[in-house]
Homo-oligomer: A and B are copies of this chain.
């Protein structure tokens, strides 16, 4: 399949590497608003050609958008305007409600598959891309009933080639669950980093006193604001609910702390320990045998 990737960063670049490796992409075309990124992606052989949007959409089979979600909602309708009948479009955005809404009445809505391949690192740009990023991870497709069978089949070819386990969900359900499980942990890390930098004026103290535990907890604070600020804004309602819940939990813990209520502190921490069971599942996720994907919705 002739494949065009719009956005040649960590996600777009890693998709390119593995689609080529799997032999799914016969020709890889790339588009990036940042010319330096586009050039680097070409130099790293992530794609075969780079160029402007219009030129790169001619005669292509699959278009994959891997760009910040605020740009996505603006660019997606325009991409659908420009493609031919045989082309299908997939997005990789971390929000799904706003994106689906942006094309809900588009005449080519059925050529679009709304997806969220859940994978990433705290790094960004073409040089952050690597093979295997998506292997064994979960991919979510939303509003699958609005995509044509042809579009769905081609999209599944892509996600199967990446080694992903695809599941189906309502866009609104998606946004609610990822607010808690993904977006909240990013906010928690960004603000932990911000608080510590704010208070510990002497950065030497942080470097000297911090162990691997602090490094792990704050790691996501290295993530790209260009990518994450728009995600937080588009998922504002569910994220602010999740954040409010987190703040209430922290305040309750602080209350028990101020009262030196050992029993309650211990109880809360013991309950939190249950996360161990779930984390073991995540850590083994990428090493388990990939189940056969079937379209179930």
Contact = CB atoms under 8 A, between A and B. Distances in A.
A180 B265 CA distance: 19
Contact of A219 (B191, B216, B239): B216
A71 interface: no
Interface in A250-266: 250-251, 253-254, 257-258, 260, 262, 265-266
Contact of A191 (B200, B218, B223, B272): B272
A210 interface: yes
A253 B265 CA distance: 26
A242 B199 contact: yes
A186 to B, nearest CB: 7
A246 interface: yes
A233 to B, nearest CB: 5
Interface in A224-281: 225-226, 228-230, 232-233, 236, 239-240, 242-247, 249-251, 253-254, 257-258, 260, 262, 265-266, 268-279, 281
A218 B265 contact: no
B182 A265 contact: no
A128 to B, nearest CB: 13
A236 B257 contact: yes
A25 B84 CA distance: 76
A189 B185 CA distance: 9
Nearest to A251: B247
Interface in A202-219: 203, 205-219
At the interface, is chain A mostly helix, strand, loop or mixed?
helix
A125 interface: no
Interface stretch (A102-110, A114-122, A141-149, A152-160): A114-122
Interface of A: 118-122, 137-138, 140, 167, 177-178, 180-182, 184-200, 203, 205-223, 225-226, 228-230, 232-233, 236, 239-240, 242-247, 249-251, 253-254, 257-258, 260, 262, 265-266, 268-279, 281-283, 285
Given A181-B200, A222-B273, A232-B265, 5 more contacts: A181-B206, A203-B277, A225-B266, A225-B270, A247-B251
